[in-house]
Amino acid sequence: MTAAGDPHARTGRSGLRRTWLRSRARARRGGRRVRSESRAILTAALAAGAAYAIAHYVLGHAYPIFAPIAAFVSLGFGIDRRPRKVAELALGVSVGVAFGELFALLFGSGPIQVAVVLALAVSIARLIDGATMFGMQAGVQSVVVVALPAMLGGGGFPRWTEALVGGSMALLVAILLPLDVRRRAERLAESGMTEIALTLEDVASGIRTGEVELVDDALTRARGSQGVIDEWADLADTALDATRLTPSRLRHEDFLRRMYRCATLADRAMRNARVIARRAGVVAQEVEQRRALADLLDRIAQSVRDLSGVLGSSAKLISRRPYLLDVAGQLDPRQFTGWPAQTLVVLIRSLVVDLLEMTGLTGTQAREALAGIGRPDPPAEDGSVPPTGGSVL
């Protein structure tokens, strides 16, 4: 039996806890993806069902599998549903199906035919258009059509009309039911900022109670939550490209640019939070001024939560700035004793600069708001030079 104080047992329990925390973070990210993409998935599914119904009940096709395939492939479940992109994908599917049907009618099916039709279909697609997905869909669909007679028997040009039905349905949905990128960006932003706040709160709890395990858990959480911030930045970047040639560009461009800038700053803030968590383990074992550091981190975590719901509005972001400025004014490393506490305050300063920049300040303005900027630094009792506001964040 393993003794309660066995270090190997503690290591094993710690490893299991970290695995559980990572799994929980992964599950949260998966849930967020499903929620944020639910409308895109639903509309693509409805478009596929409608395309099947039209091909089956209106055109009289017994098994119109290419209608829903073309509809879903053309729409997808991402945010980029520009009509031009959807039309390119639909055309790629239609070209591939038409070429595959003609090739199968003339040469039949088989491994050689599959290889030849793929090479020819992609070559023709590249000749028609330079879009990568256009060539990809033309090649894939031509192979499917040529291979189908070997699996199901039969063939015929009706499959090309099914592809046209599915592509037309996808284009209609893309035009009439555009996705609201702003709501999805706001959800991802709120989730990403909440992860930063939770990390800081866990670090604060670990420092206040002296439990290093809580700090380790916070670091594990932060490492597992990076994905949501990456997804937020990718979404804003992709959305900017997607709306560049659409009528909504002027309405959404400022919002998306702000979201992309905030995502970049949130990425820096999360990285700073991870560095803080790594250094906080030493501070958690220091009795002196532990509570003051924990209180600062809790205040910053509350500020992160306040920012999370207003990133889409410049005016509301500015209204949250005074609270952060008050915190920044307390972050003078010289007010803390011992290099572990001073080092942690220096790291916290970098995090607060990132958050102040989210409210619209420039980097220089944010750094100038920190306590200790521009003042001489007295030497430490041991003769060394402590961290200062004038040389570090």
pLDDT at 15: 63
pLDDT at 17: 65
| pTM reported for the whole predicted model | 0.64
Model confidence pLDDT, tens digit, residues 295-320 = 999 999 999 999 988 887 888 889 99
Cβ atoms of 204 and 248 closer than 8 Å: no
pLDDT at 25: 65
Joined tokens for residue 23: 């799994």
Closest by CA to 298, choosing from 191, 199, 221, is 199
Which amino acid is located at 42 in the chain?
Answer: L
181-368 CATH pick, 3.40.50.300, 1.20.58.220, 2.70.98.60, 1.10.3720.10? 1.20.58.220
What single DSSP character describes residue 268? H
Model confidence pLDDT, tens digit, residues 315-369 = 888 999 999 999 999 899 888 888 888 889 999 999 999 999 999 999 899 999 8
Quickly list H helices, the chain.
7-53, 66-75, 83-107, 111-128, 132-152, 158-176, 181-209, 212-224, 226-243, 249-283, 290-308, 314-319, 321-328, 339-358, 363-368
pLDDT at 346: 92
Joined tokens for residue 307: 């920012």
Residues of the chain short of pLDDT 50, as ranges, are 1-4, 150-155, 245, 247-248, 250, 374-393
pLDDT at 63: 83
- How many other C-beta atoms are found inside a 10 Å radius of the C-beta of residue 379? 9
pLDDT at 197: 93
Cβ atoms of 298 and 203 closer than 8 Å: no
Cβ-Cβ contacts under 8 Å for 128 (sequence gap 6 or more): 95, 134
Q: Alpha carbon 303 to chain centroid distance?
A: 22
pLDDT at 94: 87
Query: Where do the CATH 1.20.58.220 domains begin and end in the chain?
Result: 181-368
